[in-house]
Structure 1
Amino acid sequence: MDERAKIPVSLPLDSPTQSYWQDPPDAIADLRTTEKLPDAADIVIIGSGISGGATAWHLLQDQPPKARSIVMLEARQACSGATGRNGGHTKAASYRSFLDHAAELGTPAAVQIAQLELANIRAMQDLAHAHPDFHCDAQACDTIDIIYDAAQWAKAHEAVAAMRAAMPPDDPAAQYSFFSRDEVQKQFHCHDSIVDGKEERLCGGVVYPAGSLSAYKFGIGLLKLSLAQGLNLQTNTPVVAPLLKNADGTWTAQTPRGSIIAKKVVVATNGYTAHILPRFQGVIVPLRGQITAHRPGQAMPLAGCLPTTYSFIYEKGYEYMVPRPAGSRFAGDIVIGGGLVRAPDDGLLEYGTTDDTAVNQTISEYLRETTARYFGPDWGEDDPAGRVRKEWTGIMGFSPDGFPFVGEMPGEKGLWVSSSFQGHGMVLCWMSAKALAEMMEGRDGERLEAWFPGAFRISEERLAKRFEGRLHTTAAVADAVEASS
């Protein structure tokens, strides 16, 4: 893993695989608000995904329109990175990390993280429902984790019990229900799984509130709101070199179209951060994720428009699945991603890569079979047009301790970061951006500390940690890390 973490982080590459959500691209995909790149701005935001867009939106709420200049730089098309490529799951799964967080940070901090994750989901859903013109197919629904590993089934019960003991009885962040193996088969249409001749026996399911949306359309809608309030968006304008600190305390971002100077810079580039800020080389490590969109099998209940979203959890890894809701484009399609550990060496070669122009063929072959395997007789024959409608990849960012980096860089006044969301951005980015805006506006005090985890803040101690692999994703974290090192 050390060698993978050392691979120099590149800019986003040209000609990435086309995401299901970005086909076709939105009308603002290649927008440049002004023909010429401004020479200077009060604030430059690098990255136009949910982190950059939410930061801009929160900052613009504090000022009259155009009271200060905010320029957003995007290397490729608007919202074309991880946000425009993920599966659209607004799903916290807080019980899966709660015991690890409690052991590392203490129970109050673990509670705070779980509550923030749920608040993030609700805030995004609320904004989407307040703006139906986003057309992002936002829906609040339950989700189920289908568990195929006895150790994780036992740990799920332990974690939920710990959450209920630590939180008030009516706290929605501790709202979980368990379903037996038979109940899962009958109500959720899932069955035992066989991979490479080895049976993975279904243990049961965990159900809790979640939701889904088109993250691409949500992100585009958010950018349009900010554009109406004065944001200057400059797409296809990559920052090609590390940021430069000027003698007067300002910062310079260099692009192929010229340089721009800003009093404050926000780096919202997730897995690509180390290209702009070399201190994050080996600290925020890119990881390529892969997704496929399947046409529903002909026996699928409700023609594939299932009322819940799913995850399928096994010994070292998982898949996540979002059925496209009724009334949406391609209603009934099954969007399923994951499969990392099914690649050689538990997917080791996917770490350190920023190449989203291609797919991993081993993971591709595995993901193509997932739906028919998990749903078994409830899948039926494939659609006559073929099972797979589209497949693509995207680049995530992972940190040594499993937490995002949010805040001002130590000793670098005016340089702010919100990055490294562990493939969990749809339940972390919004509230992290809100917290970052509070910090930038000088409102960093007890009120912010009451809801924003201290573990997410940038510190010298965190920057010095060694990356060893993904955390908080399996029942036996230490074993998984050792296996992938």
Structure 2
Amino acid sequence: MENNASKPVSLPRDNPTQSYWQDPSDEIANIRTTVNLPESADVVIIGSGMTGAAIAWNLLQNATDGTRLRDVVMLEARQACSGATGRNGGHTKAASYRTFLHHAKEHGTDEAVKVAKLELENIRALHAFAHEHAIDCDSHPCQTVDIVYDAAQWKEDQRAVQAMRDAMPGHPASEYLLHTDGDIRDKFYCGHGGDEDIAGGVSYEAGSMSSYRFAIGVLKMCLEGDLNLQTNTPVHGLAKTTDGDGDGDGDYWRVETTRGTINAQKVILATNGYTAHLLGQFRGVIVPLRGHVTAQRPGQNMPQDGLPVTYSFIHGDSYDYMIPRPPGSRFAGDIVIGGGLHNMSDGGASEYGNTDDTVFNGVIAENLRECLPNYFGNSWGEDHGEGRIRRAWTGVMGYSPDGCPFVGAVPGVENLWMSASFQGHGMVLCWMCAKALTAMIDGRDDNELDQWFPDAFRVKEDRLKQPFRGALHVQPADS
């Protein structure tokens, strides 16, 4: 693990596998708002996924007539929204009980409560924003179920749910319904003639959407608000330039790209798993993990109108996640499923440090291809006449040593900010983290922000010194 975690981090690769959501790519996929790269900007945002789009939106919305930003430039190494946001499964699912005991142990119960509340608020905010602004992204709030296959894990999960109920009684973020193994078989189509070793299950509020189309929709709104988006413009270096008098008034950042250099007053990194390519101090701290996802046609015995909930299949220290495409969407009824690490001999350790989303790991790809008939057994039936797999793709996530994102000012320098390392859970973290970051940048880092934003998410020197041990959100609290 340690060797993989400390690998040098590359730029995003050319010609990645095409995700289900990017077929076809949007009309702004290769946009360059201006033909030439601007020579200067007030703010340069690096990255055009959910985080970059949300930061741009908040900056432009928060600016008043007296403080309006003159120039906001966004740089993207490949097509717009071609990173993790455009390559995930579209799951707006927190599973906060899975990390609650860890956060409570490491940061205290109050912080754990803040995290859980933020995650649910993030889910609700995404779907509300999509509805308010009529973004065509198949926004689908719904329930989800976690099916647990390990007895010890099931016992720990029940303890975590009770701890959340005790810590935040009556709050929606602590509302979970526990299911017996019989409930799971009767209500969720699993376990009959397939994988019978079910310990129990948990259901709660979640949802799904095309995060690619959501982020593209936000970017289009930002373009109407004077965002300058420059795609296919990799950034290969950052350098601080000073005027030499020590007052900082003439300091700026030189953002070096393959198309030239931009001088910026402020730089914001929305680079997730690729962050260490630009900030060497985050090598081994924000560690890339290559994930695999497939879109599959449902078996002939599956409900013809689609499954009403989303799923996760929990195998001790790993899991697969599954999102049925909702009614009215393109390819309604398709099943999007990702994960596939739990059957690997090394538990997926070889995928850490891997940024090559142009190819597949054959073992993981086969795990995902074969898992659904095992999970659903007789409820799956014969494969669809056109074949099971519609599309398969890979993408790069970012993980931290303590299981929390890094949000705030980069230590030791001025006017360099970041929001990154979302542990594969960007859909329940990015939006609210962007809101918090823009408050910090705008000088509103105050008691109001502290009321809802976890201190554990802030960028601090001591967090950069912790050893990387893998994805904490899939490990038991006492591991």
Q: Where on the TM-score scale, by shorter chain, does this alignment land: which range? A: over 0.9
Cα deviation, 1:139-197, whole Å, max 9, x if unaligned, reads 1100000111111111111111111111132x100010011111111111011797xxx
Are 1:135 and 2:130 an aligned pair?
A: no
Query: Tell me, what secondary structure is at the counterpart of 1:301?
Result: coil
The letter for the 2-side match of 1:2 is: E
* 1:475 Cα deviation after fit: 2.6
The letter for the 2-side match of 1:78 is: A
Aligned to 1:187: 187
Distance 1:381 1:193, change over 3 A: closer
Higher deviation after alignment, 364-373 or 22-31: 364-373
Aligned length: 470
C-alpha separation between the residues in 2 aligned to 1:200 and 1:182? 10
Are 1:222 and 2:223 an aligned pair?
A: no
* 1:464 Cα deviation after fit: 1.3
C-alpha separation between the residues in 1 aligned to 2:404 and 2:145? 24
C-alpha separation between the residues in 2 aligned to 1:27 and 1:64? 30
C-alpha separation between the residues in 1 aligned to 2:192 and 2:227? 51
The letter for the 1-side match of 2:235 is: V
Q: How does 1:392-431 map to 2 (within 5 A)?
A: 392-431=393-432
Aligned to 2:167: 166
Aligned to 1:483: none
Alignment TM-score, normalising by the size of structure 1: 0.95
C-alpha separation between the residues in 2 aligned to 1:41 and 1:473? 41
Are 1:322 and 2:317 an aligned pair?
A: no
* 1:476 Cα deviation after fit: 5.8
Distance 1:26 1:332, change over 3 A: same
Distance 1:379 1:477, change over 3 A: farther
Aligned to 1:463: 464
* 1:477 Cα deviation after fit: 5.7
Are 1:264 and 2:266 an aligned pair?
A: yes
**1:43 touches 1:69 (CA, 8 Å); kept in 2?**
yes
C-alpha separation between the residues in 2 aligned to 1:115 and 1:101? 13
* 1:306 Cα deviation after fit: 1.0
Counterpart of 1:95 (choices 97, 119, 129) is 97
Alignment TM-score, normalising by the size of structure 2: 0.96
* 1:5 Cα deviation after fit: 1.6
Are 1:332 and 2:327 an aligned pair?
A: no
The letter for the 1-side match of 2:97 is: Y
Aligned to 2:246: none
Query: Tell me, what secondary structure is at the counterpart of 1:293?
Result: strand
Aligned to 1:210: 206
Aligned to 2:127: 125
Aligned to 2:247: none
C-alpha separation between the residues in 2 aligned to 1:348 and 1:73? 31
The letter for the 2-side match of 1:256 is: T
Query: Tell me, what secondary structure is at the counterpart of 1:444?
Result: coil
Query: Tell me, what secondary structure is at the counterpart of 2:331?
Result: coil
Query: Tell me, what secondary structure is at the counterpart of 1:210?
Result: strand
C-alpha separation between the residues in 2 aligned to 1:477 and 1:27? 48
Query: Tell me, what secondary structure is at the counterpart of 1:42?
Result: strand
* 1:396 Cα deviation after fit: 0.3
Query: Tell me, what secondary structure is at the counterpart of 1:411?
Result: coil
Query: Tell me, what secondary structure is at the counterpart of 1:341?
Result: coil
**1:42 touches 1:68 (CA, 8 Å); kept in 2?**
yes
C-alpha separation between the residues in 2 aligned to 1:111 and 1:336? 29
Query: Tell me, what secondary structure is at the counterpart of 1:7?
Result: coil
Aligned to 1:346: 347
* 1:64 Cα deviation after fit: 5.4
Aligned to 1:246: 241
Query: Tell me, what secondary structure is at the counterpart of 2:338?
Result: strand
C-alpha separation between the residues in 2 aligned to 1:340 and 1:126? 33
* 1:347 Cα deviation after fit: 1.2
* 1:346 Cα deviation after fit: 1.0
Q: How does 1:263-342 map to 2 (within 5 A)?
A: 263-303=265-305, 305-342=306-343
Aligned to 1:482: none
**1:17 touches 1:358 (CA, 8 Å); kept in 2?**
yes
C-alpha separation between the residues in 2 aligned to 1:461 and 1:387? 47
* 1:315 Cα deviation after fit: 2.0
**2:46 touches 2:270 (CA, 8 Å); kept in 1?**
yes
C-alpha separation between the residues in 2 aligned to 1:51 and 1:63? 18
**2:192 touches 2:379 (CA, 8 Å); kept in 1?**
no
* 1:249 Cα deviation after fit: 2.2
The letter for the 2-side match of 1:293 is: A
Query: Tell me, what secondary structure is at the counterpart of 2:141?
Result: strand
**1:184 touches 1:204 (CA, 8 Å); kept in 2?**
yes
C-alpha separation between the residues in 2 aligned to 1:472 and 1:269? 21
**2:46 touches 2:268 (CA, 8 Å); kept in 1?**
yes
Q: How does 1:20-169 map to 2 (within 5 A)?
A: 20-63=20-63, 67-132=69-134, 134-169=135-170
Query: Tell me, what secondary structure is at the counterpart of 2:98?
Result: helix
C-alpha separation between the residues in 1 aligned to 2:148 and 2:346? 23
* 1:63 Cα deviation after fit: 2.0
**1:471 touches 1:477 (CA, 8 Å); kept in 2?**
no
C-alpha separation between the residues in 2 aligned to 1:385 and 1:448? 52
**1:151 touches 1:475 (CA, 8 Å); kept in 2?**
no
Query: Tell me, what secondary structure is at the counterpart of 1:335?
Result: strand
Distance 1:2 1:84, change over 3 A: same
C-alpha separation between the residues in 2 aligned to 1:316 and 1:337? 15
**1:193 touches 1:374 (CA, 8 Å); kept in 2?**
no
Tell me the C-alpha RMSD between the 2 structures. 1.3
C-alpha separation between the residues in 1 aligned to 2:367 and 2:57? 39
Distance 1:356 1:477, change over 3 A: farther
**2:148 touches 2:154 (CA, 8 Å); kept in 1?**
yes
* 1:240 Cα deviation after fit: 1.5
The letter for the 1-side match of 2:443 is: G
**1:193 touches 1:202 (CA, 8 Å); kept in 2?**
no
**2:193 touches 2:378 (CA, 8 Å); kept in 1?**
no
**1:112 touches 1:452 (CA, 8 Å); kept in 2?**
yes
Query: Tell me, what secondary structure is at the counterpart of 2:236?
Result: coil
Query: Tell me, what secondary structure is at the counterpart of 2:101?
Result: helix
The letter for the 1-side match of 2:356 is: D
Query: Tell me, what secondary structure is at the counterpart of 2:84?
Result: coil
The letter for the 1-side match of 2:6 is: K
C-alpha separation between the residues in 2 aligned to 1:156 and 1:6? 32
C-alpha separation between the residues in 1 aligned to 2:341 and 2:355? 15
Aligned to 2:13: 13
